Amino acid sequence: MYFTTTSLKKLGLRIQLGHRFGEKCLNPERCTNDDFIIIDTHGIHEVGIDFCGCGRSDQRHTVQLLRAKLFPATIKQPKTAATTRVLELFELLGYESKASAFEFYHTLSRFTDNTGISPPKVS
């Protein structure tokens, strides 16, 4: 009857890092508090991330994110990452329109929720 706001995580999306597409990790490690945020060109999304804990890949979470083309916001226990596409878009906009990081983030925030009622949470 009507549309409701939801997230990719609530729809069941879990991203497994450290393994090839379709492979499952024998010992997945969930992100701290299971509240990972991905910033992409079409918005800011809450997703479920499982890091590899079985030892088949590099144990560092930052390396696992970088191999998946996700640039972590911090090097210790990352909970937010930006895609390489959004970083390239920000670089080009910075050259051409002189948009600041603040303005760029709020533009992406409007892609996620243009009403301003519940802005996306970034940790």
The DSSP line for 26-75 is SS-EEPGGG-EEEEETTEEEEEEEEE--SSSS-S-HHHHHHHTTEEES-S
Question: Using CA atoms, how far apart are residues 72 and 82, in angstroms rounded to an integer?
Answer: 7
Question: Using CA atoms, how far apart are residues 28 and 12, in angstroms rounded to an integer?
Answer: 16
Tokens 């144990």, located at residue: 59
Confidence of residue 66 (pLDDT cuts 50, 70, 90): very high
Region 21-41: mean pLDDT is 87
Confidence of residue 57 (pLDDT cuts 50, 70, 90): low
28 has pLDDT over 80: yes
88 has pLDDT over 80: yes
Sorted by where each begins, the domain ranges of the chain are: 14-112
Write down the pLDDT at residue 65.
93
